[in-house]
Amino acid sequence: MAKNLLSFVCQNCGAAYNKWQGKCDACGEWNSLAEEDTTGVTTIPVSARSKRKGRTFNLESLTGQSNDAPRIASGMGELDRVTGGGFVRGSVLLIGGDPGIGKSTLLTQATSLMARAGHRVVYISGEEAVAQVRLRAARLGLADAAVQLASETSVEDIVATLSEGAVPRLIVIDSIQTMWTDTVESAPGTVTQVRASAQALIRFAKKSGATIILVGHVTKDGQIAGPRVVEHMVDAVMSFEGEGSQQFRILRAVKNRFGPTDEIGVFEMTGLGLREVSNPSELFLSDRDLGSPGTAVFAGMEGTRPVLVELQALVAPTTLGTPRRAVVGWDSSRLSMVLAVLEAHCGVKLSGYDVYFNVAGGLRINEPAADMAAAAALVSSLCNAPLPTDAVYFGEISLSGAVRPVAQTSARLKEAAKLGFGRAVLPESARGDPGGDAGLSLNTIGGLTSLVADIAARGVKPARDPNRDNSKSTDAEKNTAPARFTRGER
């Protein structure tokens, strides 16, 4: 007789168990096991299985001619940049983001532009009715686009409908958590249903050559909900990021089999939908506060695109036993390393100060080239020393206090010169870059000590109180003195 399969499945990783338990042994999540009805899924004993002989297939050598996978442009330059130049036929993409971040708006605009270009595009929504999708398209001014709409959740019905007539160039499934298939008897949104539905849609895409975009929900940690095996099944995984209080939206590729994963697409949320930002540096520096201590402009790279962004730091005396370290938009471990190097090699005592660090504009920085800009902003805030408003900073800081070179120096300098900056503080070994200095005045730094001493010399000493003993200086006053940063006095 057939017997039931395991019925307790982890909703985070998809591991199955015979009985319920509080913690999943596979992924370590608590209270993630849920009972699923698997009555219709049975196992067949090995003795009863038909012993079918395998079929032979052709083997090819490595020295064969391979044609590049043809791509279809979406009509949105920022979206094509992240995908690697357009959608590859037969590929499946998974895009996730917080609720209300603009995923449906982005895909509505992309499908409308492709439909206007003459491609057959299908938008299937499992969360909204057709009338609701039409309202969004009318608000965006895209109601005249020949996008075919449907509100359906059955995977078998979707595949049967799409198989008729011409093969669609692009299919949007919004969202994969609402889909269900007859092959699995469990509720929509469960791990088993999501995995089976995704597998059926991927099989259709590979067989027909249509591009499918799956929209996925995210967890409270920002990870795409559902089994992680779905991310391995698809060809590309993209994340749509942004803060609800800001108008910036960033599309980032987490996985891409047909393109790079270090490119980003920048959008601005407006009343008429998402507007592409071709020059993100102007957007991130538009509301810059000139002449304030604790701010430095970092010349970074996001893939092949140079991006200038403002780094903000606030160093304030602490009243707690353990100083607070708050970071937004940067790696907290990287900040701890920079603080340790400043204290160990430059004599900057920050153990009695709270440190708050922020990347303006909602951008998240991952490259180590931001170390020197972060250090400059921290010392500027501590010493109350405004940095030059026409200077950009970039360079990696080693644990010995030396400043290491970074890649693509010429592209960073050209972007800074285009936006009107006049000088650049960069590693000493980057002076001989073949790209040139782009007309900027270069200030090369070999070690972090010289940078700290230069910033401290600009510091403004606090006014002395005549009612107290001036012979006893505070830590903040000591940190404003340039001689404080010499190695001999430590």
Look up residue 196 and give its two tokens.
């089976």
CA count, 13 A, side-chain hemisphere, 132: 10
Residue 447 CA to residue 116 CA, distance in Å, equals 56
The backbone torsions φ and ψ at residue 269, rounded to the nearest 5 degrees and listed phi first, read: -80, 120
Which string of DSSP letters, residue by residue, matches 239-285?
EEE--TTSSEEEEEEEEETTS-SS-EEEEEEETTEEEE-S-HHHHHT
DSSP state letter for 39: T
Please name which of 300, 291, 288, 242 lies closest in space to residue 269, comparing C-alpha atoms: 242
- What confidence score (pLDDT) does residue 227 get? 61
Beta bridge partners of 441: 423
Spans of the chain, pLDDT less than 70:
1-6, 37-52, 64-69, 220-227, 244-245, 431-437, 460-490
pLDDT single digits (tens) 107-119: 999 999 999 999 9
What pLDDT, on a 0 to 100 scale, did the predictor assign at position 6? 53
pLDDT for residue 400: 93
Report the pLDDT value the prediction gives residue 431, as an integer from 0 to 100.
Answer: 61
Kind of pairing, strands 33-35 and 8-10? antiparallel
Give Cβ neighbours of residue 201 (< 8 Å, ≥ 6 apart): 92, 155, 158, 159, 173, 176, 179, 212, 214
DSSP 4: B
User: Torsion angle of alpha carbons 241, 245, 247, 250, nearest 10°?
Assistant: -10
> Which contacts of 439-448 are long-range, i.e. CB under 8 A and separated by 24 or more positions?
440/413, 440/416, 443/391, 445/372, 445/395, 445/403, 446/402, 446/403, 447/345, 447/401, 447/402, 447/403, 448/341, 448/342, 448/345, 448/346, 448/372, 448/375, 448/397, 448/401, 448/402, 448/403
Q: Residues for the chain: how many in total? A: 490
**What Cα–Cα distance (Å) separates residue 488 from each residue in 328, 445, 449, 459?**
35, 20, 12, 21
Q: pLDDT value at position 11?
A: 77
pLDDT of residue 464: 45
CA 203 to chain centre: 28
For 70, other C-beta atoms within 10 Å of its C-beta total 11
Cβ burial 234-250 (10 Å sphere, 16+ → b, else e): bbbbbbbbbeeeebbbb
Residues 285-288: contacts with CB within 8 Å, 24+ apart? Answer: 285/309, 285/310, 285/419, 287/360, 288/360
Rounded-to-integer distance, Cα 300 and Cα 46, Å: 59
> Which tokens go with 130?
């057709």
Q: How many CB atoms lie within 10 A of CB 478?
A: 14
Beta bridge partners of residue 95, listed in sequence order: 215, 238
∠ CA 272-275-277 to the nearest 5 degrees?
Answer: 160
Tokens of 156: 């078998």
Question: Phi-psi region for residue 299, left (φ > 0), alpha (ψ -120 to 50) or beta?
Answer: beta
Q: Tens digit of pLDDT for each residue in 437-478?
A: 678 899 999 999 999 999 988 876 544 444 444 444 444 444
Residues 6+ apart with CB under 8 A from 216: 94, 95, 96, 175, 176, 177, 224, 225, 226, 230
Per-residue confidence (pLDDT) for residue 248, from 0 to 100: 85
